[in-house]
């Protein structure tokens, strides 16, 4: 601890000194521009290296699969050839099998996420606005994050029967508590100074909410949406694995029981791409809002 304190203090002194010295130098020689150019060039070279390594790793993984499958495990049904997987994807898309599975699960995920949002928004807003309520409920909300909600699915099936109804309820239950936690945090993170400033400038209440509070809470809210969507997908797919009549989990289970491995690979690959696209889009949106929101 002592070492850390000493390091922080020394670092602060060094930073102050460095800044003072560099200010003098840059003001005299105009070296700021040169530094910025160098930093940009270095940054570009790092980004290039990262892209090259990423591409190399992807190629390496593909080649390894092709070599292992083509040379060592040619007749192993567990490792279908890339062409067989591609054919299965085309056939799956053409016959509508993949689209049916993805759209069925996707619709339940959408309804579940929207439902959890509708429930979490007002409750989260009330909890977030009240400090005593927030202090009392935060540990409970954090702990509820740890519950694997799919364990209630069998109870829901016995109550509501086999079909989509228990999946909808499971989707909402899987999403509502994580979403609530993020909404509460988003409301708590709204800087009081911004609200006070708006009030000083004579902003009406409605304008303060929509022009100050909502934009300030948006990044955390979007992070919540991203995490919640992931958790809802997990809940719904596990529910479909356990007992259902359609959807991604059901189709994967059914096809793997038929030993249709190329179809399983193709379906997993297709759904991976769809989910990655969804997750990355939400992440990009969140980053965009965060950058725009920075004071």
Partner 1 sequence: MSRADGIRVRFRIWTIRVYLGLAALALWSAITGFFRGGSLVSHLTPWAVARSALQVIMAPSFVVDLLATLGEWGIAILVSLVLGITAGLLLGSNRVSSGVAEPLVYSMYGFPKTLLLPFFLMFLGAGLVEKSGFAVFSAMFWVAGPVFSGMRSLDRQHLQMATSFGHRLLSRWTKVVIPELMPSLLLGARFGIIISLVGVLNAELFVSQRGLGFLLLESLTQQANMSEVVGLSVILTLLPLLAYGLFGLLSRVILARSGIAEADLMS
Q: Please give the residue ranges that form the binding site for partner 1 (CB under 8 A).
A: 1, 3-4, 7-8, 10-11, 14, 46-47, 49-50, 53-54, 57, 78, 132-133, 135-137, 140, 142-143, 145-148, 150-152, 154-155, 157-159, 181-182, 185, 220, 223-224, 226-227, 229-230, 233-234, 237-238, 241-243, 248-249, 252-253, 256, 261, 264, 268, 271-272, 275-276, 279-280, 283
| CB-nearer residue toward partner 1: 213 or 228 | 228
| CB-nearer residue toward partner 1: 212 or 222 | 222
Tokens of 230: 């992931």
d(CA 171, CA 117) in angstroms, rounded, equals 11
CB-based burial of residue 242 (10 Å sphere; 0-12 exposed, 13-18 middle, 19+ buried)?
middle
Q: Residue 127 in contact with residue 177, Cβ under 8 Å?
A: no
| CB-nearer residue toward partner 1: 15 or 35 | 15
CA proximity to 220, closest of 259, 181, 246, 254: 181
In the complex, least distance from residue 27 CB atom to partner 1, rounded to whole angstroms: 24
| CB-nearer residue toward partner 1: 29 or 64 | 64
Side-chain-side CA neighbours of 196 within 13 Å: the count stands at 3
| CB-nearer residue toward partner 1: 4 or 20 | 4
Q: Region of 30 please: left (phi>0), alpha (psi -120 to 50) or beta.
A: left
In the complex, least distance from residue 273 CB atom to partner 1, rounded to whole angstroms: 11
């Amino acid at each position: 601890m002592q070492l850390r304190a000493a390091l922080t203090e020394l670092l602060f002194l060094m930073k102050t000194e460095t800044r003072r010295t560099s200010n003098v130098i840059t003001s005299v020689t105009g070296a700021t521009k040169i530094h910025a150019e160098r930093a940009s060039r270095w940054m570009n070279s790092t980004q290039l290296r990262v892209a090259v390594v990423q591409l190399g790793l992807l190629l390496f993984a593909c080649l390894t699969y092709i070599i292992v499958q083509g040379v060592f495990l040619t007749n192993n049904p567990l490792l279908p050839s890339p062409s067989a997987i591609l054919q299965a994807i085309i056939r799956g898309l053409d016959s509508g099998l993949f689209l049916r599975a993805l759209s069925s699960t996707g619709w339940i995920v959408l309804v579940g996420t929207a439902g959890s949002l509708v429930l979490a928004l007002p409750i989260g807003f009330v909890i977030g606005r009240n400090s005593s309520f927030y202090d009392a409920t935060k540990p409970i909300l954090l702990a509820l994050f740890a519950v694997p909600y799919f364990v209630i699915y069998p109870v829901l099936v016995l109550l509501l029967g086999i079909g989509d109804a228990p999946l909808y309820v499971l989707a909402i239950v899987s999403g509502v508590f994580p979403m609530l936690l993020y909404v509460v945090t988003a409301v708590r993170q709204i800087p009081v100074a911004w609200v006070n400033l708006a009030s000083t400038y004579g902003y009406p209440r409605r304008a303060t909410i929509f022009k100050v509070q909502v934009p300030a809470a948006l990044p955390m809210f979007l992070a919540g949406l991203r995490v919640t969507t992931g958790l809802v997908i997990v809940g719904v797919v596990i529910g479909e694995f356990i007992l259902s009549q359609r959807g991604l989990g059901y189709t994967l289970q059914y096809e793997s029981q038929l030993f249709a491995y190329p179809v399983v690979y193709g379906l997993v690959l297709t759904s991976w791409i769809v989910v990655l696209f969804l997750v990355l889009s939400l992440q990009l949106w969140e980053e965009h809002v965060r950058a725009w929101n920075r004071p």
